[in-house]
């Protein structure tokens, strides 16, 4: 890997020259993964920049691209709306069922007209609730998405090497 | 120190050579610490799992239903004290109002709980991206702290949002209070 740099005896105080003169396969500058392996300090820094970048591409790039895709498309907006609707439905159904049980426990005896009225009221309330929750969820999810896009580090895709 | 004679390349100083050596060591340490980044990533992935969302939604459901039950008990006792017939219009209207508010609070509470977990998950992924796009070698040396803090922040955010939405259940008290005072002060027809 190039001419050894530490041939000058005055450089001996660092002890680096011994490695060069012994012709060992171990280089002066060698990382454990052997992505950096040289006897030249300058080459070592160049190899380090390359190794950092390669590691970044190997370990991080796919993650970043997936994240970028997820926060710029409609996935999490649609998901929030779906969650809101499903939960309002579930919440309403379980609360209405609870009320029916409670009323029967209290000995409430409603006429069929009252029962019909109440069911209509509940349906109306649920429809309003569903629309409101879906709209709020969409607004919040868009707001969240904008914040993530603004706050993410996608634009400074500098990778490794500092 | 410089031996730039005859246009040859200047030799690196001892300090520069030592810096290169340290840089390689830092690189090795950073690689050794890669597992922290991976550990953080798997914690973030867990936040994105349906299990975590279901857990948060379940917690919100229990909190909302329990507040609703408390409000219903209070209303029932109040009506009994006033001698209101449970089948009367005054009683059923009040309970209908309570049910409507309860349905809204419980449903919204669960939705917000799920939303908060998703937000924490996305925030965690943003942190993971920041780890990758930061100064890779140097940043990873301090990753242990960064990862711990980020996870704590993510959980804190998720659960403080969740708790504030769960505290929406206090809206039940307001609705019932208003309904109760209206119906209970209304002359019996």
Judged by CB atoms closer than 8 Å, whether chains meet at B72 and A160 is answered as no
For B57, the token pair is 């939604």
Residue B1 lies in a domain: no
Residue B21 lies in a domain: no
Confidence at residue B165, expressed as pLDDT on a 0 to 100 scale: 52
Q: Is A149 exposed, middle or buried (0-12, 13-18, 19+ CB in 10 A)?
A: middle
Whether residue A36 contacts residue B27, with contact meaning beta carbons closer than 8 Å, is answered with yes
DSSP string, A5-50: STTSGGGGGGSHHHHHHTT-SS-SEE-TTSSSEES-HHHHHHHHHH
Q: Closest to B28 (Cβ–Cβ): which among A31, A141, A161?
A: A31
pLDDT in tens, B56-85: 888 888 888 888 888 888 988 989 899 988
Q: How many domains is chain B built from? A: 1
In sequence order, which residues have a C-beta less than 8 Å from that of residue B53 and are 6 or more positions away?
B113, B114, B117, B118
Q: Closest to B103 (Cβ–Cβ): which among A95, A102, A103?
A: A95
Cα–Cα distance, A81 to A79 (Å, whole number): 5
For residue B43, give its domain range.
34-185
Cα–Cα distance, A125 to B134 (Å, whole number): 50
Q: What letter does residue B178 receive in the DSSP assignment? A: H
Residue B24 lies in a domain: no
Confidence at residue B155, expressed as pLDDT on a 0 to 100 scale: 56
B135: left (phi > 0), else alpha (psi -120 to 50), else beta?
Answer: beta
Confidence at residue B7, expressed as pLDDT on a 0 to 100 scale: 61
For B97, the token pair is 């109002």
Q: Closest to B99 (Cβ–Cβ): which among A89, A95, A154?
A: A95
Residue B101 lies in a domain: yes
Cα–Cα distance, B89 to B183 (Å, whole number): 9
Judged by CB atoms closer than 8 Å, whether chains meet at A140 and B72 is answered as no
Confidence of residue A134 (pLDDT cuts 50, 70, 90): very high
The C-alpha R_g of chain A, in whole angstroms, comes to 34
Element (H, E) at B102: helix B89-133
Confidence at residue B60, expressed as pLDDT on a 0 to 100 scale: 87
Whether residue B56 contacts residue B114, with contact meaning beta carbons closer than 8 Å, is answered with yes
| Boundaries of every domain in chain A | 9-59, 72-156
Residue B132 lies in a domain: yes
pLDDT exceeds 70 at position B17:
yes
- Contacting residues of A for B19, CB less than 8 Å apart: 41
Cα–Cα distance, B128 to B134 (Å, whole number): 10
Cα–Cα distance, B45 to B30 (Å, whole number): 22
Residue B20 lies in a domain: no
Confidence at residue B95, expressed as pLDDT on a 0 to 100 scale: 87
């Amino acid at each position: 890997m190039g001419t050894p740099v530490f041939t000058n005896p005055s450089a001996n105080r660092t002890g680096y020259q011994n490695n060069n003169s012994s012709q060992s396969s171990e280089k002066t500058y060698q990382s454990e993964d052997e992505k950096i392996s040289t006897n030249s300090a300058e080459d070592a820094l160049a190899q380090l920049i390359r190794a950092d970048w390669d590691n970044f591409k190997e370990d991080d790039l796919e993650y970043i691209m997936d994240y970028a895709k997820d926060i710029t498309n409609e996935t999490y907006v649609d998901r929030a709306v779906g969650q809101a609707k499903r939960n309002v439905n579930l919440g309403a159904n379980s609360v209405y069922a609870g009320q029916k049980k409670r009323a029967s426990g209290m000995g409430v005896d409603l006429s069929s007209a009252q029962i019909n009225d109440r069911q209509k009221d509940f349906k109306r309330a649920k429809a309003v609730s569903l629309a409101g929750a879906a709209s709020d969820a969409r607004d919040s999810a868009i707001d969240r998405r904008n914040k993530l896009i603004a706050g993410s580090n996608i634009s400074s895709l500098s990778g490794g090497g500092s | 120190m410089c031996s730039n004679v005859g246009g040859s390349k200047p030799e690196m100083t001892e300090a520069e050579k030592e810096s290169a050596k340290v840089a390689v060591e830092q690189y090795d340490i950073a690689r050794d610490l890669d597992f922290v980044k991976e550990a953080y990533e798997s914690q973030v992935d867990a936040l994105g799992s349906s299990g975590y969302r279901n857990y948060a939604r379940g917690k919100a459901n229990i909190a909302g239903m329990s507040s609703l039950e408390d409000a219903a008990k209070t209303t029932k006792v109040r009506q009994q004290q006033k001698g209101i017939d449970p089948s009367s219009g005054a009683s059923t209207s009040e309970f209908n109002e309570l049910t409507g508010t309860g349905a809204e609070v419980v449903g919204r509470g669960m939705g917000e709980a799920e939303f908060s977990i998703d937000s924490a998950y996305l925030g965690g992924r943003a942190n993971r991206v920041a780890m990758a796009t930061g100064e890779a070698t140097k940043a990873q040396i301090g990753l242990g702290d960064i990862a711990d803090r980020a996870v704590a922040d993510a959980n804190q955010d998720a659960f403080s949002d969740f708790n504030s939405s769960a505290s929406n259940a206090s809206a039940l008290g307001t609705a019932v209070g208003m309904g109760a005072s209206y119906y209970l002060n209304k002359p019996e027809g």
